[in-house]
């Protein structure tokens, strides 16, 4: 039944469809994602970004079509094994119990620590590192329910980093952050992609952020892949008009070889 699919790509999606009850969210999506790249997933609200990310995580199963991760159907992996390879920073996160920040970051080590074992020195080091990277040292002993949205997002991010996976999937992970932390975190991601071969797949609302940090962008529109290309090629006035319904001009190669988008904020005035 399952035909062997030998490709070099990390993810191989073939005519993938998904619907919530009768509501079709993704339709005939085919896509290949390579390892060691920074992918941006962009599209208007309700275009199917979060659903696609959940399918990649294996927390949803496709209605039709297939997803291969490293040449094996994603649903065939044991949950625990998958958790050592893929980490997710979800869009929404809340907690009803008073776990401390440090405990929550430590939960990222869960798939690595065998049942009834205590954390090893390596586990502690990784957690320390993640806390350092996300600049939440000063919050360590606070209960997570007492944090602001932005602080919480950094905690969840640190938890995902502590998972030490080769793929990091971010669902608008910087939406609540101030500009300093947003840029800081995106830089860290970029650096890990460059130096450690991490693969990042991030749904991003801020198009300039996507343009500045990603290698490739995948544009979703009404559950279809509208375009998929390197950032240097993908952003055009036409695309922004069709997909997002905004007027904008693009300055190619403006920021370190990456494009910059100038939106027109007033109606009827071309930028």
Task: Using CB under 8 A, list all residues that contact another protein.
Answer: 54, 57, 59, 79-84, 86-88, 90, 93-100, 102-104, 106-108, 110-111, 115, 118-119, 163
Residue with tokens 């005519």: 15
State the nearest-atom distance from the C-beta of 165 to another protein, in Å: 10
To another protein, the closest distance from the beta carbon of 53 in angstroms equals: 11
Nearer to another protein, 32 or 84 (CB): 84
Would you say 240 and 261 are in contact if contact means Cβ atoms under 8 Å apart?
A: yes
Closer to another protein by Cβ: residue 97 or 245: 97
Least distance CB 106 / another protein (angstroms): 7
- Residue 200 contacts residue 171 (beta carbons within 8 Å): no
> Within 13 Å, how many C-alpha atoms sit on residue 60's CB side?
19
**DSSP secondary-structure letter at 144?**
G
User: Based on CB atoms, which residue is closest to another protein, 163 or 182?
Assistant: 163
The nearest distance, CB 183 to another protein, in angstroms, is 26
Nearest distance from C-beta of residue 211 to another protein, angstroms: 28
Q: How far is CA 253 from CA 191, 207, 241, in A?
A: 20, 15, 20
Closer residue to another protein, CB minimum distance, 115 or 195: 115
Q: DSSP per residue over 146-181, as a string?
A: GS-HHHHHHHHHHHHHHT--SEEEEESTTTTS-HHH
Can you name the residues that pair with 48 across neighbouring β-strands? Answer: none
Cβ closest to another protein, residue 131 vs residue 231: 131
Query: CB-wise, 141 or 238, nearer to another protein?
Result: 141
CB of 83 to another protein, least distance (A): 3
Pick from 238, 219, 263, 192: nearest CA to 41: 219
């Amino acid at each position: 039944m399952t035909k062997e699919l030998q490709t070099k790509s990390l993810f191989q999606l073939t005519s993938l469809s998904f619907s919530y009850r009768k509501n079709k969210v993704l339709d005939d999506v085919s896509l290949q994602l390579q390892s060691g790249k920074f992918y941006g997933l962009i599209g208007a609200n309700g275009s199917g970004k979060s659903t696609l990310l959940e399918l990649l995580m294996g927390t949803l199963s496709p209605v039709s079509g297939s997803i291969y991760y490293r040449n094996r159907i994603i649903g065939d992996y044991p949950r625990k094994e998958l958790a050592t390879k893929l980490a997710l920073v979800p869009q929404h996160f809340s907690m009803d119990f008073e776990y401390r920040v440090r405990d929550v970051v430590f939960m990222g080590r869960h798939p690595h620590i065998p049942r009834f074992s205590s954390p090893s020195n390596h586990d502690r080091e990784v957690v320390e590192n993640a806390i350092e990277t996300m600049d939440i040292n000063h919050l360590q002993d606070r209960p997570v329910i007492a944090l602001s949205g932005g602080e919480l997002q950094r905690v969840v991010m640190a938890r995902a980093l502590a998972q030490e996976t080769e793929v990091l999937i971010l669902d608008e992970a910087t939406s609540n952050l101030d500009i300093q932390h947003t840029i800081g975190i995106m830089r860290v991601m970029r650096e890990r992609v460059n130096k450690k071969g991490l693969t990042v797949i991030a749904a991003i609302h801020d198009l300039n952020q996507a343009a500045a940090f990603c290698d490739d962008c995948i544009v979703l529109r009404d559950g279809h892949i509208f375009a998929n290309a390197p950032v240097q090629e993908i952003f055009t006035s036409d695309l922004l008009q069709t997909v997002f319904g905004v007027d904008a001009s693009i300055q190619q190669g403006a920021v370190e070889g990456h494009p910059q988008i100038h939106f027109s904020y007033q109606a009827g005035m071309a930028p």
